[in-house]
Structures are given as C-alpha cells and as structure tokens.
Amino acid sequence: MIHAQGASKMNRLLGLFFLVLFSAPTLAGDDFPESWFWGDEKVRAMHQAMVGKKAPALRLEDLNGKTVRTPPMLGKVVVVDFWATWCGPCLKAIPEMVDLQAEYKDQGLLVMGIHDSRRGVDRMATVAGEKKINYPLFVDDNEQSARNWKVRFWPTIAVIDRTGKIRAIGLQPSHVKAVVETLLKEPVPAKGRKTVDTTTPPSVPTELLESGTDITRSRRLASINATTPPELDVSNWINGEMRPEDLEGKIVVLDFWATWCGPCLASIPKNNALAKKYGDDVVLIGVCHDRGAERMAEMVRSRNIRYPVCHDVGNTTIDAYMVNGYPDYYVFDRQGRLRVPDCRNNKVEAAIKFLMAEEN
C-alpha cells in the first residue's frame, strides 16, 4: 500500500488506532474470511456474485479431445481447480489437492482439475505422473468452462457444497482445506427427484401418444416404470444445468433431439415459445444425441435456443427411454411420474394443458 508522504506522527497513530478498531476479518459471502481469497476488487466482486448460486455448467474433454461427462457431484463437496501445466502456482498447489483427495474422498469429497484449453495440455499426463495426481483431470472445452466460471487468474479454485452451490471461489490453495472441512460437516441432501405420488398414474388420451394404436410400441414404452423413471444421465449443460431440486413441482418435457435432425431444428421456435409461455409451471429440456453433440453449442447460438440443453453422452438416457425417432418428447407430471412417453410432436402443448387441468 502506498501512503501519502508528509503525514504527521499523530495521523499515523490515529490511523493505526482505527485500523485496529475496525480490522475484524471481513467475511467472503458471510462464510470465509476475505483474506483467504485472491483477486482485485473487480474480480472479487464477480466471484462474490457467484457465491450461493448453482455452479455453472462445465464443458469438459479428455486428454484426447473427446467430450466427457461431468462426474456426479450432487451430495459431494467438490473442489474445482482451474489449472495449467505452464502455471507455477498451479503446480505448487497440486500436493495440497492430492492430500485433500486422499484424506477426504471417503467422506464425500471430489477434487477436479480442469486444464486451460489453450496450451500445455500435451504435458498433462507427464505432470500427473510426476505429481502422483489421484483425482480426475479434464481439459476445458474451448475455454467455455473458464468463461462460465469467470476465471481471471491461475489457479482459480472453487468449492461447491453438497447441494451444488458455489460457496467459495478464488481461494488461495492454503485455505482450501479449511473450506472443505467446513462444508463436509453440512448434511447430505436427499438424492434424486422426489415423487409425491408413487401410485400408478392414470392413463392419458391416446391422441397424445405417438405410438397411438401400435400395440408393440405401446407395450415397450409401458415397460418403463412411470413412478420411478430412468435418471437423466447427461452432462455439458448449456442455458443452465437442471438439477433434481430444480424440477420439483414442475411439469417436465424432455425433447430428445439431434444437431443433424432437420425436424428437430424446425421445432426449436415452437419449443422456445412453450418454454416462455409456461415458464412458471414447465421445464423444457433438450437432450442432445451423442452423434453430432460437438455442434450442440453452435446450434444453441445459431438457432437461439432459450431453454436448457444437455449432451446425452453415450446415449444412455436415450436408450433408457427407448427413443426411436427425433424429435421425441416425453412429458412428466409435477410428481415426477412419466405420463406421456413419446408424445406426438404436435401435441406437446396439449399434453401440458392436460396435466395442468388434472390439478383443478
């Protein structure tokens, strides 16, 4: 700090008095001392605005450039370390991350290293071996994660609590352990989307169903457990990640689509309109086919998709729901029950209205 010259001894003494009087540690986000963090006033303000909110989406690749799924994080305390092999402070912090993962993994800690996408990726494997890294490493997909997380320096270390919210970001490595220990003491939330009513739901009008009178297709879809439907096993969210708690009490529409599917792309304006019109009651999610998913972000931008979309890596969710065409729509009621499997493309709004009318 630069002090003005010529200050009197009395002024200096008064300054020290008030410094002592009012120098109780300032807390970041009311949880942790501000002195534990890096960053100037502008960066700290950006990071503080993220505290207490859902962690932004992560767009990740493996060392071979292949898109990979974000590891399951709900119920865990997660340390997200934005690092690089060319960054001295990053390398110096690795032993701290290794020790944390070793000591607290069994208590629900996950450490993730996300490498800068611009340079240094070629040395990741070597550094991982030399440093005996024991936690998963990923490469940022074209800097998308760094932008979402407002990375302005390296390393940028954030800690997410068990509910998926950022509790600290911009931490100095020496204080990460204290944050982790604090958050591990917090209760583990209930996992999965809660179902209020587990009884078999009533049938819906046949005209809403793409299968119609196709008995074989109807039987296949009926084999999906409507009260405990398959989990949404996806990653790489754009326009906001939808967690189980975000879907509580909502009618949910899954739009199974693909970047190479003309009818899917033609349906986007309709989907945008539905998401806007029923925004208070309905969550519409675009679940993108694995093939062509590398163009998903491009399509979101060029087609102005305004609802959440995600990548079904390996088509695990598509297979679980027996999707047989694109786009395919699956509609769930507020209790989380699958009510309209493979809804007719031109009947999605009718299905929404039908489920809303049931409540009256």
What pLDDT digit, counting tens, does each position of 261-287 carry?
Answer: 999 999 999 999 999 999 889 999 999
Please give the Cα distance from 256 to 68 (Å, whole number).
19
- CA 68 remoteness from chain centre: 13
HSE-CB at 357 with a 13 A cutoff on CA atoms is 7
Q: Is the pLDDT of residue 84 over 90?
A: yes
Q: What is the reported pLDDT for 57? A: 74
Range in 59-68, 213-222, 317-326 with the lowest mean pLDDT: 59-68
Helix (H, G, I), strand (E, B) or coil at 349: helix
Question: What share of the chain in percent tops pLDDT 90?
Answer: 63
Q: What is the reported pLDDT for 220? A: 87
Domains and CATH numbers, the chain: 25-184 (3.40.30.10), 206-358 (3.40.30.10)
Could you tell me which residue, 353 or 213, shows the higher pLDDT? Answer: 353
Q: What is the reported pLDDT for 196? A: 52
> What integer is the mean pLDDT of 15-44?
66
Q: Is the pLDDT of residue 18 over 70?
A: no
What pLDDT digit, counting tens, does each position of 235-247 carry?
Answer: 889 988 888 878 8
Q: What is the reported pLDDT for 197? A: 56
What pLDDT digit, counting tens, does each position of 162-197 carry?
Answer: 988 999 999 999 999 999 999 999 988 755 455 555
> What integer is the mean pLDDT of 30-37?
89
Could you tell me which residue, 163 or 102, shows the higher pLDDT? Answer: 102
Q: Are 263 and 345 in contact, with CB atoms under 8 Å apart?
A: yes
Beta bridge partners of 257: 288
Q: What is the reported pLDDT for 22? A: 37
Q: Are 309 and 238 in contact, with CB atoms under 8 Å apart?
A: yes
43-82 per-residue burial string, b: 16 or more CB within 10 A, e: under 16: bbeebbebbeebbbbbbbbeeeeebbbbeebbebbbbbbb
Q: What is the reported pLDDT for 224? A: 87
Q: What is the reported pLDDT for 280? A: 86
Mean pLDDT (the chain) is 87
How are beta strands 60-61 and 309-311 bridged, if at all?
unpaired
Q: What is the reported pLDDT for 306? A: 95
What pLDDT digit, counting tens, does each position of 290-340 carry?
Answer: 999 999 999 999 999 999 999 998 888 999 899 999 999 999 999 999 999
Of 298, 295, 270, 297, nearest in space to 284 by CA? 270
Q: What is the reported pLDDT for 299? A: 95
Q: Is the pLDDT of residue 210 over 80?
A: yes
78, amino acid identity: V
Q: Is the pLDDT of residue 29 over 80?
A: no
Q: Is the pLDDT of residue 3 over 60?
A: no
HSE-CB at 131 with a 13 A cutoff on CA atoms is 22
